[in-house]
Amino acid sequence: MAKIAILLGSDSDLPVLDKGFKIIEKLGLEFELRILSAHRTHDEVVEYIESLDSKGIDVVIAGAGKAAHLPGVIAALTVKPVIGLPIRASLDGVDALYSIVQMPGGIPVATVGINASDNAVLLAAEILSLKHPELVANLKQHRVEMKEAVLEKDRKVQAKYNK
């Protein structure tokens, strides 16, 4: 089964994951969630990242706010894909976005938008679909459902405003 590690620097970041958890459930993904700080629990971060293979985890989502070092620290410890999720904690999240997206050459971190946990999970699922092709149908179905939702909104707007 496809499994994602999700690491957050603080439990105050948990509400940001609401949209992501819905996608995880919809796609039938397994995940492991940890609260670990790049600065305050560095040894535990190292230990956890070294355990990814034994846990069957192939992709890591790391959410962090402010200085947002967690995704970069994780990326420095593994060659598994790391997706940085900038979290709005100060400066409207722009500080976290810049911290994550401006990684030095050689240590890439894929980065999604501020608080975009749904896109982080979808990107993780797309990466996992290379190894787990059974995810492809679920991802395609999700896109069909998004399209249908937009078209339904369009029908309602047309009916209300285009008389």
DSSP string, 41-98: SHHHHHHHHHTHHHHT--EEEEEEETT--HHHHHHHH-SS-EEEEEE-SSGGGHHHHH
In the prediction, which pLDDT does 2 show? 80
Average confidence (pLDDT) over 133-138: 94
Which of 47, 30, 40, 32 minimizes the C-alpha distance to 70? 40
% of the chain with per-residue pLDDT over 90: 92
23-37 residue pLDDT tens? 999 999 999 999 999
Residue 106 has pLDDT above 90, yes or no: yes
91-104 residue pLDDT tens? 999 999 999 999 88
Q: Using the 8-state DSSP alphabet, how is residue 109 labeled?
A: -
In the prediction, which pLDDT does 20 show? 97
Is residue 113 within 8 A of residue 85, CB to CB? The reply is no
For the segment(s) 3-132, the CATH number from 1.10.10.10, 3.40.50.1970, 3.40.109.10, 1.10.8.60 is 3.40.50.1970
Residue 136 has pLDDT above 90, yes or no: yes
Question: What is the bridge-based pairing of β-strands 59-65 and 110-111?
Answer: unpaired
Residues in the chain: 163
Domain residue spans of the chain: 3-132
Residue 90 has pLDDT above 90, yes or no: no
142-152 residue pLDDT tens? 999 999 999 99
Is residue 141 within 8 A of residue 39, CB to CB? The reply is no
20-73 residue pLDDT tens? 999 999 999 999 999 999 999 999 999 999 999 999 999 999 999 888 899 999
In the prediction, which pLDDT does 55 show? 96
What pTM did the predictor assign? 0.94
Is residue 61 within 8 A of residue 78, CB to CB? The reply is no
Q: Using the 8-state DSSP alphabet, how is residue 9 labeled?
A: S
